[in-house]
Amino acid sequence: MARIDRWLTAMMGKGASDLHLASGRPPLVRLHGELETLEKRVVDEAELTAVIDELAGPEAARRFHRSGDHDLAYALPGVARFRCNLFRREHGCGAVFRIIPEKILSLEQLRCPPALSALADLRQGLVLVTGPTGSGKSTTMAAVLDAINTKHVRHIITIEDPIEFVHPRKKSVYSQREIHRHAAGFGTALRAAMREDPDVVLVGEMRDRETIGLALTAAEMGVLVFGTLHTNSAAKTIDRVVDAFPEDEQEQARASLAESLAAVVAQLLLRRADGKGRVAVHEILLRCPALGNLIREGNTAMLANVIQSGRKEGMQTMDDALLAEIQAGRLAAEEAYPVASDKKRFEALLPPEART
């Protein structure tokens, strides 16, 4: 039994989502969005270094000690997989583990809007699932890919750092590739994927101009491409994609995005009103006749109107989604207010002591 296993087992026992280790302080876990102490004993630098070296293995440990950070996946057989980030900080080593459930939950089990189920039937285009770190983007994308796997015969290539959800064999054929193990980088792997007869490609993170450009090209060539960005709205997502390119290339980037964008799903993960877990809230933008012209013109300020006019097709703004969760009793107004765009719309729902 590896030394890390007892902390991970204790984390699982509490129902936490993340384990935080850092030399000079006790282990912490994130439970329902809040950090709390797992045990009072302080972890010293020698112990944490030994834990890191043991779980990483010789090659990854050398890479970590050389570069100062490293991502990897770790499996606790029969329990769960964990995504781990190793890093150096001012006062020594640190590590954060996030649970990756062994069972992939369906879109229905995640209570995702019906519009997300329709994404599994797309044959081509770019689908961007966005949100801050820890908002459940990977879980949502895994559910969409599992829906494809259940319904369709496709060749699905995933490019991840590290591999998170391991997809079982159903109808589709999977090729899951991990950066540093199976490919040098996202750009290299995405170029190679286009020579591997893909129907669907998942790009774990669109980090730079090269990866974003290749994803756009793949979508224009008829592949269904899923990617993630750390943005919290459809408008900011489109601006982020275009801004990744030099100014003299942005007009062409807008044209490519206008042709290829199939959907933007912006996701937040907020504490439930009863304190028992968290609830996912989505802004959804789908391809429609007006979308391409707005992207070409750089008029992302009008996207809210497009979403409102597409409600029958399953589109929704983040504010509308937040309001629906409040009305259903799953979300407190105090939780929704800080992330809402139209603050005045939510002020009347706040308890008197929380109003400004």
328 occurs within a structural domain: no
CATH value at residue 29 = 3.30.450.90
Query: 108: buried, middle or exposed (CB in 10 Å: 19+, 13-18, 0-12)?
Result: exposed
Do 60 and 13 share a structural domain? yes
341's CB contacts (< 8 A; 6+ apart) are: 233, 317, 318, 319
Output the pLDDT for position 276: 85
State yes or no: pLDDT of 185 exceeds 60: yes
Output the pLDDT for position 271: 93
- Give the pairing of strands 28-31 and 125-130: unpaired
Q: State what percent of residues in the chain have pLDDT above 70.
A: 99
Among 276, 274, 277, 282, CA closest to 112: 282
Token pair of 128, please?
């961007």
354 occurs within a structural domain: no
Mean pLDDT of the chain: 93
Do 270 and 130 share a structural domain? yes
C-alpha 50, offset from chain centre? 30
pLDDT digits 0-9 by tens, 230-286: 999 999 999 999 999 999 999 999 999 999 999 999 999 999 999 888 999 999 999
Q: Confidence band (pLDDT; 50, 70, 90) for 2?
A: confident
Distance CA 56, CA 72 (A): 8
Structural domain harbouring 69: 4-100
pLDDT digits 0-9 by tens, 326-346: 999 999 999 999 999 999 999
C-alpha 225, offset from chain centre? 14
Prediction pTM value: 0.89
Do 169 and 55 share a structural domain? no
Output the pLDDT for position 320: 97
Do 256 and 234 share a structural domain? yes
The mean pLDDT of 104-131, rounded to a whole number, is 97
Output the pLDDT for position 356: 60
Output the pLDDT for position 59: 85
Distance CA 122, CA 114 (A): 14
pLDDT digits 0-9 by tens, 130-158: 999 889 999 999 999 999 999 999 999 99
